[in-house]
Chains A and B, each alone.
Chain A
Amino acid sequence: MKNRRLIIVFVTFALLLTLGVVQAQDATVVQIFFPIAVDSPVTEILNGYAEAYEAEHSGVDIQWSFEGGYADVKNRLLTVKEGGGDLPALAIMLATDIYDLVNAEAVQSWDAFASDEYLADFTPTWLSNSYYDYDGDGTGELYGLPFQRSTVLLYYNADLLDEAGLSVPANWDELASAAQALTTDAREGILIPNSWPYWVFQPFAAGAGQNIVSESDVDVFFDNEGVISALQYWVDLYQVYGATPDGVQDNWGDAPGLFADGAAAMIVHSSGSLRSILSNADFTVGVSGVPGKDGGSYTVTGGGNLYLVAGIDDATAQAAWDFVQWLTEPAQTVDWSIQTGYYNTRDSGFELDAWKEYAEANPQVDESRAMLDSAVREFSVQSLGDVRNVLHTQILAVLNGETDPAAAMAAAQEGADAILAIFK
């Protein structure tokens, strides 16, 4: 009796499983691994693009495959490659993972497809982590095409600044005193989520005269005087000015909400939060780059690029390229930017009516665009995971009061050089 029921259950599910097997398709399939990093209905938007594209181009089947985060996409691609599984044609992965991905031969160059003319329309700063001279012929090959890109912004509560009679901070001193002036019992002057610090740190380092990386894949600049002074400035913000929480701030996730709620007068955060902040804040939201030590405005690039997966057949690669070309047309990049809050990566897109209307309604997006000229290259070198650990460990040691900035950055430099030595 029970036995029979058990068998019925089992057989039923065995049947369900067989029915679940997918039918083969004739069209060229372009599968794309995509991380979900915003709460806008990205899946809907992207499926819309796929449908629009398929309607214009017969014989192609665009399949988005949505993953958790960037790390999941990368791990999944590497696992599938290692296990000899069905490779996707494209994947959106971090621009900074270029060396790991190319070295693992998980991705291939776009050089056979992308013309100089096509590339010229991309805002140049987005290509700063796209080239790598893997074959050692002296010129870098192109691996990453900009798509889901962001920068670090300083968000400020313009109403509060006005009330206090303060202008938008233009240098470190002004930033610190403004933050100090706006600090109350119920409000932080400024929040800098720095528990995973390198990204938000880079604009400060650049603002003191030295980015922590150059164009090279084997050099870092940690023990530079400017970099050390940037770290000292972080410490001063709470030790001297009392304008930000002490030590390490583990509030990346909460900072945009706190800012929109009025619990923080300023925050340093991703441009990706702009949309949610604008929709939640009931005050005038100002955005700018991070002010430099003696003036100027600095930011750093971030986000993901489109990578062409290695080991796929030529027809699939061609179909993938055709789709990518369409996807990075200004009409699409502008639509993507408006719908998600990521940057429009094509210069000519800013001339489109859709963009002009959007920018008129949201003046902040033009300000964030204006900073792109001063955006520095995001931290990326060989063995990025190891080198980044060395830097993070030392920055956090300083924030925890265990060492001073000069000693920490000297140690970080030494550690990084040791790791990078074998690549030189």
Chain B
Amino acid sequence: MSTASMSIRPAKPRSYSKWFVNALTIVLCILWAIPILWAIVVSLRPRSDALGRGDIWFGQYLTTESYQIVNELAPFFPRIEDGRLTGSYYQNTLQYVLTTLGVQLITIPLAAFAFVHFEFPGKKILFYLILSQMMIPTASLLVPNFVTIREMGLYDTTLAIAIPYFGSAFGTFLMRQAFLEVPRELVEAGQIDGCRWYHLLWHVYLPPSRPTLIAFGLVSVSFHWNSLLWPLVVTSDNARPLTMGLLRFTQLTDIGAQWSLIMAATLIIVAPLLLIFLVFQRQFIQSFMHSGIK
């Protein structure tokens, strides 16, 4: 089993080139981080201060006015009206992201377990049938899927955004890879102890595969958190997620780009994900490292 510490196993650079590796890492990191740094700086720029030649970072002073305006123009956060909380983009996004994840955490291990643990007619075909979900672009299926949502009576609910992803090909594939790594002896031992299939899944297959499940969960959350086209089609007013709020600010066609507003909206949307990643970075990457993906 893998160790918990981050080791320097492969391709350890020699000391004379260490400074080069460090320098390269730092340069690349700075290059990659410039967009988000710029976004943060510009979101704090006064709106009246137009970006121009040689003047694209800090404005005359720092202000949070863009955040206030953005929140006034779009209901990102709940407000109290008549003693009750109003609906908000955050609530909607949290609802469908967590619903999706909750269901996936049940469907995925079951399916992956079936594909790893059993031999049955049609196994390969069924597996590839499920994998087809990874290959077929959802954007091209918007209209037929919208009709399905209508017929199910789910239009403009957060469930409508979530339900097509209740089965996940990517998750099933990852989980299957992880289960394949589970040592046969453990399974056989469990078998001899008279474990039923759910005991095997729960006590033998799942524990070593937990990192994969966590890794998948994080990918799933970040993917659905940012989804755009599908929610646009199946929601109206009650179930609009965060990304719809962003759309309001990227399309201010008549008055020109409001960079500070767009960046403030962007940061409002991604802040929770970035913060969570910032705090759990180590656990997250370790989950991936120990997830058996290889």
Contacts and interface: CB of A to CB of B under 8 A. Distances in A.
Interface of A: 3, 6, 9-10, 13-14, 16-17, 20-22, 35-39, 41-44, 63, 65-70, 72, 76, 79, 82-86, 150, 186, 252-258, 260-261, 263, 269-270, 272-273, 275-276, 279-280, 303, 341
Contacts of A44: 72
Interface string B248-287: 1011111111100100000000000000000000000000
Interface in B146-170: 146-147, 149-150, 155, 157-159
A68 B248 contact: yes
Contacts of B250: 68
Nearest to A342: B254
Contacts of A39: 69, 73, 252, 255, 258, 261
Given A13-B102, A16-B95, A20-B158, A83 B147 contact: yes
A328 B261 CA distance: 31
Interface in B60-75: 69, 72-74
Contacts of A66: 237, 248
B158 to A, nearest CB: 6
B46 to A, nearest CB: 10
Nearest to B147: A83
B51 interface: yes
Contacts of A21: 157
Given A39-B252, A273-B255, A63 B237 contact: yes
B98 interface: yes
B162 to A, nearest CB: 9
B82 to A, nearest CB: 14
Nearest to A257: B50
Contacts of B149: 83
A67 B245 CA distance: 9
A84 B151 CA distance: 9
Contacts of A9: 98, 102
A6 B102 contact: yes
B254 A72 contact: no
Given A36-B248, A260-B50, A272-B254, A41 B102 contact: no
Contacts of A67: 247
A79 B145 CA distance: 11
Contact of B256 (A82, A83, A257): A257
A41 B95 CA distance: 27
Interface residues of B, number: 47
B25 interface: no
A67 B157 CA distance: 17
Contacts of B157: 17, 20-21
B238 A38 contact: no
Contacts of A280: 48, 50
Q: Is chain B's binding surface mostly helix, strand, loop or mixed?
A: helix
Contacts of B252: 36-39
A311 B253 CA distance: 30
Contacts of A22: 238
B44 interface: no
A85 B151 CA distance: 9
B232 A263 contact: no
Contact of B52 (A38, A63, A150, A261): A261
Contacts of A43: 73-74
B247 A79 contact: no
- State the 3 A-B residue pairs at the shortest beta-carbon distance, nearest first: A257-B50, A253-B257, A272-B254
B10 to A, nearest CB: 33
Contacts of B147: 82-84
B19 to A, nearest CB: 41
A302 to B, nearest CB: 9
A252 B50 CA distance: 14
B257 to A, nearest CB: 3
Nearest to A150: B254
A38 B254 contact: yes
A72 B98 contact: no
A13 B99 contact: yes
A69 B102 contact: no
Given A69-B251, A85-B150, A20 B238 contact: yes
A68 B256 contact: no
Contact of A10 (B69, B74, B106): B106
A287 B251 CA distance: 25
Given A6-B102, A65-B236, A186-B53, A79 B142 contact: yes
27 contacts: A6-B106, A13-B95, A17-B158, A37-B251, A37-B254, A39-B73, A43-B73, A66-B248, A68-B232, A68-B248, A70-B253, A76-B232, A79-B142, A83-B146, A83-B150, A84-B150, A85-B155, A86-B236, A150-B254, A253-B257, A254-B50, A254-B51, A256-B50, A256-B255, A256-B256, A260-B48, A260-B50
Contacts of B103: 10
Contacts of B95: 13, 16-17, 20
Contacts of B51: 254, 257
A41 B75 CA distance: 12
